[in-house]
Amino acid sequence: MATHETELKWIDDMKFDVYQNSKTIRIDANPDEATSTGVRPKALILSSLAGCTAIDVVELLNKMRVQFSDFSIKVTGELTEEHPRTYKTVTATYALKLQDPAEKDKVEKAVKLSQEKYCGVSAMVRQFADLKYEIVYLQ
């Protein structure tokens, strides 16, 4: 049976290191970005979604031989008012520059396949949030 594992270790105060795939991610509960030494944990779910669908879309565009550059994904999560605060709406905004603007339909197909079929993180997020996505074409 396939399993994934991560391990967190307490450093001091409200700082923690999480070991994942032999790499370390520093987590720090300090909400002040200027002095915080790490990321806040909840938004790692948004980063997880961005990474999962990015891999799918880049792979699919390569297979379709679509030439592109400046590929990015912004993921926004809107929190519930009530506690515990969870993401009630999650929006993924894909942006990229196409060499051939006539290939927009291929991009739309790749994003749709990832969001609705391939990306396991999207499937999980959809169990607790309203998941939306949009595509922006850069000039």
Q: Contact residues for a copy of itself (CB under 8 A)? A: 1-10, 14, 16, 18, 20-23, 25-27, 29, 33, 36, 38-52, 54-55, 58-59, 70-79, 83-87, 117-124, 127-129
Nearest approach, Cβ of 136 to a copy of itself (angstroms)? 13
Nearest approach, Cβ of 24 to a copy of itself (angstroms)? 9
Q: CB of 50 within 8 A of CB of 75? A: yes
Nearest approach, Cβ of 55 to a copy of itself (angstroms)? 5
Q: What is the dihedral of CA 46, 110, 116, 44, to 10 degrees?
A: -10
Toward a copy of itself, which CB reaches closer, 34 or 102?
A: 34
Toward a copy of itself, which CB reaches closer, 86 or 108?
A: 86
* Rounded Cα–Cα distance for residues 104 and 112 (Å): 12
Nearest approach, Cβ of 106 to a copy of itself (angstroms)? 17
* Rounded Cα–Cα distance for residues 4 and 126 (Å): 20
Q: What is the dihedral of CA 23, 127, 114, 116, to 10 degrees?
A: 170
